[in-house]
Amino acid sequence: MGGRYYPRRSGEGSVWELSMPQFAYKARDIEGNLVKGAVGAPDEGELATLLKERGLYLVHFKEEKEKKEKKASLGSISFGKIKRRDLIEFTIHLATVLSAGIPILEGLQDLGDKTNNSRFRGIIRSVREDIHGGSNLSSALSRHPEVFPQAYVNMVKAGEASGNVDMILKELTGFLEWQEELSANVRKASVYPLMVLTAVGILLTILFAFAFPRIIGILQGMRVPLPLITRVAIGISTFFRDYWWLIFLAVAAGVVGLRLAGKTAKGRLWIDKLKLRLPVVGDLARKVALSRFAHHLGLLWRAGIDISQALTLVEGVVGNQVIAEAISRTREEVLAGESLSRSLAKRGQFSSLVIRMISIGEVSGEMDGSLSKVCQYYDQEVPATVKKIFSVMEPLIIVLLAFVVLGAALSMYLPLYTALGRLGK
């Protein structure tokens, strides 16, 4: 669930509530000036009391949650997609602003004016308005979960609690840069094979749906025994010609079925189990998931976020349902008193390196350093595995193409050679 955190009054100071309503309000100060803003509060009474403590008197209010969600949805259609690079630039700028001592409202105003992405510019301005209205940074960011993930918001919140928001933002910048690099490696490993296989599929379609039907009559009219490879090619070509619609429906049904399965818990679990079992590719999928686990857990650990909450957040970002379920069971056992390393070892999904390093961190009290070493290991292993995939797939693809071309050539030329031999006699 996309968490939203808003502050409210408490006898012990500021506490945090999940999914607290957000109110847009109009109020008057002691001099009668109109003040507009947005703030989180459990209900109207708490809202009025909160504003009164700030020297404001409530005139009008409106719950803003539904409106904002609708606005965000419309924005995603009307404007361009907000890329991770936009978020990285935002985080770098905000860290610089805070470390330089520039007021955050001025910094956000400047950042909003310089942002090229129209949708992101509107979100930055909305964040600025919320902060101007009394919300703190993490509360304002949490109202835009489509841009600022829950882990991002929780990191900022932890920085606010410790007074080191600028340092947290700098660490988030490095983290987001790692995510960008990881995504590039994953795309590189998946796009190239798909492009080559698509090209092979197009080649086979052209051969069997268009080329062979033109020469089938010629080959059959030669009245010579057709070799097996030619008969197979004719059979495939005939199938393409007569049942092309069935092939199209089968491919479409497979794509739609996978998409629908991916939207259910059982379907995602089945697909992710299959990914992990695939030769070569399964190894990459596991390393990518474990890299995400180590990076996210290390980031949240350094921010001082409770291990239970950290594991809950990590569970949602590893990108593999099998690993996510293992993390969920680990969290339950950790809450029951089990050590993190021992619980992870029971799952059978985590490498011995991850378990060993976490165990060392638990014993030495240097969990941060242990997780950093795991991150460094996978930062090297993921690109190395991508290169390994290419080194394996490239010769296989060349052999496949050679097999297709050679088979097509033989199926056409063998009957011609036989016919020419008979003419020579």
- 35 strand-pairing partners: 27
Residue 353 tokens read as 């390196």
Average pLDDT over residues 90-103: 88
- Res 188: pLDDT: 73
What's the whole-number mean pLDDT along residues 294-301? 86
pLDDT of residue 79 exceeding 70, the answer is: no
218 C-beta neighbours (distance < 10 Å), count: 12
Segment 303-355, tens digit of pLDDT: 788 888 889 888 888 888 999 999 999 999 999 999 999 999 998 889 898 99
* Predicted confidence (pLDDT) at residue 235 exceeds the cutoff of 80: yes
Judged by average pLDDT, the poorest of 64-73, 110-119, 162-171, 298-307 is 64-73
Residue 29 φ/ψ, nearest 5 degrees? -85, -175
The count of C-alpha atoms lying within 13 angstroms of the C-alpha of 116, restricted to the half-sphere facing its C-beta, is 5
Q: What is the pLDDT of residue 12?
A: 34
pLDDT tens per residue, range 319-333: 889 999 999 999 999
Mean pLDDT over residues 129-137, rounded?
86
pTM: 0.62
Q: How many CA atoms lie within 13 A of 219 on its CB side?
A: 22
Q: Token pair for residue 233?
A: 């090619």
**What are the counts of helices (DSSP H) followed by strands (DSSP E) for the chain?**
17, 5
Q: What's the average model confidence in pLDDT over 266-285? A: 87
Using an 8 Å Cβ cutoff, are 102 and 93 in contact?
Answer: no
CA–CA separation, 42 and 211 (whole Å): 71
The percent of residues in the chain predicted with pLDDT above 70, rounded, is 87
- Where does the chain hold its CATH 1.20.81.30 domain(s)? 182-425
Distance of alpha carbon 196 from alpha carbon 183, whole angstroms: 20
Q: Are 120 and 82 in contact (CB under 8 A)?
A: yes
SS3 for 156-196, per residue? HHHHHHHCCHHHHHHHHHHHHHHHHHHHHHHHHHHHHHHHH
d(Cα 12, Cα 51) in Å, to the nearest integer? 18
Q: What does the alpha-carbon distance between residue 13 and residue 134 come to, in Å, rounded to a whole number?
A: 15
Contact 368, 297 (CB under 8 A): no
Q: Which of 400, 394, 392 is nearest to 280 (CA)?
A: 392
Are 373 and 357 in contact by the 8 Å Cβ rule? The answer is yes
DSSP 19: T
Q: What is the pLDDT of residue 423?
A: 63
Taking only the tens place, the pLDDT of each residue in 38-73 is 776 767 777 777 777 777 777 777 776 444 433 333
Record: fold of 182-425 = Receptor-associated Protein (1.20.81)
Pairing of strands 5-8, 56-63: unpaired
- pLDDT per residue as tens digits for the range 84-94: 888 988 999 89
Whether 116 shows a pLDDT value over 70: the answer reads: yes
pLDDT at 19: 40
The tokens 């059979």 sit on which residue? 235
The first and second tokens of residue 225, run together, are 């025994």
* Helix/strand/coil for 117: coil
The span from the CA of 106 to the CA of 374, in Å, is 39
Q: Residue 81: what pLDDT?
A: 72
DSSP tag of 395: H
